[in-house]
């Protein structure tokens, strides 16, 4: 299979390596808005996202993968390419251990040394980075990024566009809301709502993340549906009494 890589930055190079270390795949080159000519390690820049969409049949590719670490940008490009019917392929390093009883979505990459256990379901366009571990029956939703060495114990749910910083550890049964970010080395021992930045052991609230708004001031990134808490007033910043309150700094 000939694969195009969208994004020629650091993660693009990781994905190039992944493709070379996967069974039955061959990299064709990169698509990138910022560079042209020769790309990383001598592979060509074939065009940008626009030319990819406009000239798709001419490139004679079997599929593409969006190799951009930042979740929102990766999601935006993934959605454009999907809408045009361009096949988004998942790529698994030959030294990743993925259970035959796990399900992996379109466009998701699973890097070297990662482990995905039985019953785990990884959505579309996510990154399970180097050495990350997703244990049995976890659910990782679309466009998430588990940075290197992060560990999900069994039955954890990770929301859309979540980024778990390098080395984050999550105990069993926890749910992490959409777009929430954890700092490197975090330990998560309670559910986290949407749109938070947390860090520490155990995590404390660093700040609420901005909602994206359109010209009319309407939220554009609240995809959580009616009746669901979306960050702000959902508890973590409100605890004031305990040593475990995430709103309180623990030094």
Ligand X SMILES: CC(C)(COP(=O)(O)OP(=O)(O)OC[C@H]1O[C@@H](n2cnc3c(N)ncnc32)[C@H](O)[C@@H]1OP(=O)(O)O)[C@@H](O)C(=O)NCCC(=O)NCCS
* Residue 164 to residue 199: CA distance in whole angstroms: 10
* Residue 67 to residue 193: CA distance in whole angstroms: 27
Query: Contact with ligand X (CB under 6 A): which of 71, 90, 157, 166?
Result: 166
State whether the Cα torsion 140-197-231-188 is positive or negative. positive
Give the footprint of ligand X on residues 167-206 (CB under 6 A).
181, 183-185, 199-200, 206
CA distances from 26 to 1, 15, 20, 168, 216 (A): 6, 11, 6, 32, 46
* Residue 200 to residue 228: CA distance in whole angstroms: 26
* Residue 95 to residue 173: CA distance in whole angstroms: 27
Give the footprint of ligand X on residues 26-85 (CB under 6 A).
69
* Residue 84 to residue 5: CA distance in whole angstroms: 16
Catalytic residue among 136, 143, 145, 208: 136
Least gap, CB of 237 to ligand X (angstroms): 14
* Residue 69 to residue 17: CA distance in whole angstroms: 15
Give the footprint of ligand X on residues 210-249 (CB under 6 A).
249
Least gap, CB of 196 to ligand X (angstroms): 11
Q: Which two tokens stand for residue 66?
A: 């969006």
Q: What share of the chain is helix, strand, coil (3-state, %, to 5)?
A: 15, 25, 60
Q: Which is nearer to ligand X, 166 or 221 (CB)?
A: 166
Closest CB to ligand X belongs to which residue? 183
Query: Contact with ligand X (CB under 6 A): which of 18, 86, 109, 147?
Result: 147
Is 208 a catalytic site residue? no
Q: Which is nearer to ligand X, 86 or 134 (CB)?
A: 134
Q: Which is nearer to ligand X, 4 or 200 (CB)?
A: 200
DSSP 198: E
Q: Which is nearer to ligand X, 29 or 133 (CB)?
A: 133
User: How many positions of this chain bind ligand X (CB under 6 A)?
Assistant: 14
Q: Which is nearer to ligand X, 46 or 66 (CB)?
A: 66
Least gap, CB of 111 to ligand X (angstroms): 10
Least gap, CB of 67 to ligand X (angstroms): 12
Residue numbers at the binding site for ligand X (CB under 6 A): 69, 129, 147-148, 165-166, 181, 183-185, 199-200, 206, 249
Catalytic residues: 136
């Amino acid at each position: 299979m000939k694969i195009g890589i969208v994004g020629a930055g650091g993660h693009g190079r990781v994905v190039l390596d992944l493709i070379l270390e996967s069974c039955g795949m061959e990299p064709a080159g990169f698509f990138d808005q910022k560079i042209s000519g020769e790309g990383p390690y001598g592979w060509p820049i074939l065009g940008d996202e626009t030319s990819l969409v406009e000239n798709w049949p001419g490139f004679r590719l079997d599929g593409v993968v969006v190799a951009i670490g930042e979740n929102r940008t990766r999601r935006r490009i993934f959605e454009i390419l999907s809408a045009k019917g361009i096949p988004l392929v998942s790529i698994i390093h030959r030294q990743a251990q993925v259970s035959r009883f796990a399900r992996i979505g379109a466009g998701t990459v699973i890097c070297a040394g990662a482990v995905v256990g039985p019953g785990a379901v990884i959505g579309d366009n996510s990154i399970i980075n180097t050495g990350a571990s997703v244990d049995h029956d976890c659910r990782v939703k679309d466009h998430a990024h588990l940075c290197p060495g992060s560990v999900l114990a069994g039955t954890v749910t990770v929301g859309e566009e979540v980024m778990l910083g390098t080395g984050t550890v999550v105990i069993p049964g926890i749910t992490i809301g959409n777009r929430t970010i954890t700092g490197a080395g975090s330990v998560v021992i309670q559910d986290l709502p949407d749109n938070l930045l947390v860090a520490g052991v155990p995590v404390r609230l660093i700040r609420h993340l901005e909602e994206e708004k359109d010209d009319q001031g309407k939220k554009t990134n609240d995809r959580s549906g009616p009746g669901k808490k979306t960050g702000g007033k959902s508890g973590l910043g409100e605890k004031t009494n305990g040593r475990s309150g995430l709103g309180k700094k623990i030094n």
